[in-house]
Amino acid sequence: MCGLECLYTAWPEYARVGQLIVVNGYFNLQSNMEQRTCDDRSACTSPSGSPSPSRNECSITPLTPSPSPRTEVRPRVARPFSVVVAIDFGTTSSGYAFSFTEDPETIHMMRRWEGGDPGVANQKSPTCLLLTPDLRFHSFGFAARDSYHDLDPEEARHWLYFDKFKMKIHSTCEVKDQSSSVLEGNEVRWVITVPAVWRQPAKQFMREAAYLAGLVTPDSPEQLLIALEPEAASIYCRKLRLHQVIDLSQRPITNGLEVDGSRPFDSSFRQGDRYIVADCGGGTVDLTVHQIEQPQGTLKELYKASGGPYGAVGVDLAFEAMLCQIFGADFIENFKAKRPAAWVDLTIAFEARKRTAAPGRANSLNISLPFSFIDFYKRHRGQSVETALRKSNMNFIKWSSQGMLRLSAEAMNELFQPTINNIIKHIENLMQKEEVKGVRFLFLVGGFAESPMLQRAAQNALGRNCRIIIPHDVGLTILKGAVLFGLDPTVVRVRRCPLTYGVGVLNRFVEGRHPRDKLLIKDGREWCTDILDRFVSIDQSVALGEVVRRSYTPARMGQRKIIINIYCSDTDDITYITDPGVRKCGAITLDLLESGAMAASAGDNDKGSAFERREIRTTMQFGDTEIKVTAVDVATGRLVRASIDFLSN
């Protein structure tokens, strides 16, 4: 199959592995598999007799320890692709776009979907997934929503319907229609977007879902790129012209200059310009700060990406909370369970009205209540919806005899303000950072950036400090930027590390320097355990292709696998992996394919010392959107299979 079903057939596989939880438009996978233990002696590096669990995770010592990471630039090898396909899977809606490498200036958008909602453009498909009672894929998008709507209420309780969550879609049919030749699978480079604030486990989840779906294979990982959403938007925004944007500032201009003498947003960016991109989506708001470098026009990240769960879904949740206040939380939950199709109808009606909300609007917004809602409430409460509204004392909301809730402008403003205030506060805090001061442009992108409510609030709060720019195709900015990223992944030359990363190691114990509770005696030697061997520090600038090199050695003769545990922290003020805020986030697995041969070559006289000092040189790359690792067996020159597992934790 080659349509939307491809990627979604992978979803039930994850559902069987763990428990899927959907909360406020997000998904989380709780693994039911036990974490790997040290019962497999060939795979465990733990020393015998370790007095604490943490010491079981620190039984390696670097062969060439250094106080600061040493870096080298590794050349990037370009691979020819005929077409780049980008998939933007949003919390509210999803879409795809593509471009042929022979004509990179032309970006083809997905065809408009059949179906759609009144007042809502259907350039994208709603992010809805429907699974059968036996966890099989049924449909996606409008088809999923309509099929779920048509189910009998009792039958619907056994189906799984996911709305406003983050996963993936995939379609190649339109690409094949517009290609003059038949495309092979290895001729397509895929780009999947994720929020910049997502950490490595979520990125790995997306990549492995693509593998399970058959989008690409694990043998060709370079065929799939993970793009950060605000970064993709920034790549697109840097090429915008005056006629492609809306400048919210609209300040008086004399002779081409503002009244304060500064230049306005002109036909394009210039080298050295710095700007903020705020990706305001359905689930999250992501912020990134970039500078256009001279002379090549590449991008340099000035401050690590930040953001939070301040997307448009917050307005939906506020509306649901308002309904709970009026009709009772127990009733709303009961109605959602017993009349799921009617609840979907109600959310669709609110979504359409939410998009038309604007500051300064005088007349009320009408939201249709499904008849089953009115009937269900009367049956369970013994009173009418109108009576409930009157008793709630919410003066901003009235009842229309046509079966509608009438929300005044004040009521709609109340629903928007908490989410908008969080967005504005986050941007203001970012602009106070030393690295960000003086930034003159703020781009608002993403679906929520289309909201006049958000636009007006941003202009009122931030307009004095910077020019606020809205691209005309604001809802498709990320998608188009992701295509550009796939065509040239080197466009972002410098990124900032979101966290401090390192591994737990043993170093020689120094009396007076190391605490006594870290003392570990092994083979007659005194070691200090739990030391963090730092790779990179939070907010450290890392250039594209830059790697950190470390050398390790197997713990025992004949060992076929080394497992090195990775730790991270959102601070740089750490020494030990047991310090507050340090958490285990992954593991590097090194398969020693020729361990038997190496053991045999050690000989009888040296008692295996050659093997014990066998050097495995690892290089870890942090400049890309994902952390990558390679390892070489120095004795043989052979590449050692290496992988980082972030999901097992």
State pLDDT tens for residues 593-612: 654 444 444 444 444 444 44
Does residue 59 carry a pLDDT above 60? Answer: no
Task: Output the six-digit token pair for 352.
Answer: 């359409």
pLDDT value of position 514: 93
pLDDT value of position 270: 65
pLDDT value of position 468: 94
| Range in 210-214, 332-336, 612-616 with the lowest mean pLDDT | 612-616
| Range in 61-65, 258-262, 330-334, 431-435 with the lowest mean pLDDT | 258-262
pLDDT value of position 94: 80
Dihedral (CA of 442, 443, 445, 451) sign: positive
Protein fold of 499-595+612-640? Substrate Binding Domain Of DNAk; Chain A, domain 1 (2.60.34)
State which of 40-44, 164-168, 270-274 shows the largest mean pLDDT.
Answer: 270-274
Give CATH for domain 3-34+80-227. Answer: 3.30.420
Nearest to 492 by CA among 284, 302, 245, 308: 302
pLDDT value of position 341: 84
Distances (CA, A) of 535 to 54, 337, 508, 541, 567: 20, 49, 19, 13, 10
DSSP state of 297: -
Q: What are phi and psi of 640, to 5 degrees?
A: -95, 135
pLDDT value of position 184: 63
Domain limits of the chain?
Answer: 3-34+80-227, 228-249+268-305+430-495, 313-414, 499-595+612-640
Does residue 116 carry a pLDDT above 70? Answer: no
Distances (CA, A) of 425 to 308, 346, 415, 417: 11, 31, 17, 12
Does residue 127 carry a pLDDT above 90? Answer: no
Confidence of residue 186 (pLDDT cuts 50, 70, 90): confident
Helix or strand holding residue 595 (H, E): helix 595-601
Distance between CA atoms of 174 and 182, rounded to whole angstroms? 12
DSSP state of 515: -
Confidence of residue 123 (pLDDT cuts 50, 70, 90): low
Does residue 43 carry a pLDDT above 70? Answer: no
User: Model confidence over 500-514: pLDDT tens digits?
Assistant: 999 888 888 999 999
Task: Output the six-digit token pair for 129.
Answer: 């997934």
Does residue 486 carry a pLDDT above 90? Answer: yes
Average pLDDT on 481-488 reads: 94
Is there a contact between 139 and 105 (Cβ–Cβ < 8 Å)?
no
Nearest to 215 by CA among 166, 171, 167, 165: 171
Confidence of residue 240 (pLDDT cuts 50, 70, 90): confident
| Range in 5-19, 344-358, 459-473 with the lowest mean pLDDT | 5-19
State which of 74-83, 89-98, 145-154, 369-378 shows the largest mean pLDDT.
Answer: 369-378
Average pLDDT on 160-183 reads: 50
Does residue 280 carry a pLDDT above 90? Answer: yes
Average pLDDT, the chain: 77
Does residue 55 carry a pLDDT above 60? Answer: no
Equal CATH topology for 3-34+80-227 and 228-249+268-305+430-495: yes
State which of 29-38, 449-458, 520-529 shows the largest mean pLDDT.
Answer: 449-458
Strands 285-292 and 274-280, how do they pair?
antiparallel
Note the pTM of the prediction, 2 decimals.
Answer: 0.77
Does residue 22 carry a pLDDT above 60? Answer: no
pLDDT value of position 262: 43
Distance between CA atoms of 606 and 435, rounded to whole angstroms? 56
Is there a contact between 138 and 9 (Cβ–Cβ < 8 Å)?
no
Confidence of residue 140 (pLDDT cuts 50, 70, 90): confident
Average pLDDT on 222-239 reads: 92
Rg over alpha carbons for the chain, rounded to the nearest Å, is: 28
pLDDT value of position 66: 46
Distance between CA atoms of 443 and 437, rounded to whole angstroms? 16
| Range in 119-123, 145-149, 284-288 with the lowest mean pLDDT | 119-123
Give CATH for domain 228-249+268-305+430-495. Answer: 3.30.420.40
Greater confidence, 387 or 158?
387
| Range in 161-170, 239-248, 446-455, 553-562 with the lowest mean pLDDT | 161-170
Burial 386-403 (b: 16+ CB within 10 A, else e): eebbeeeebeebbbeeee
pLDDT value of position 314: 94
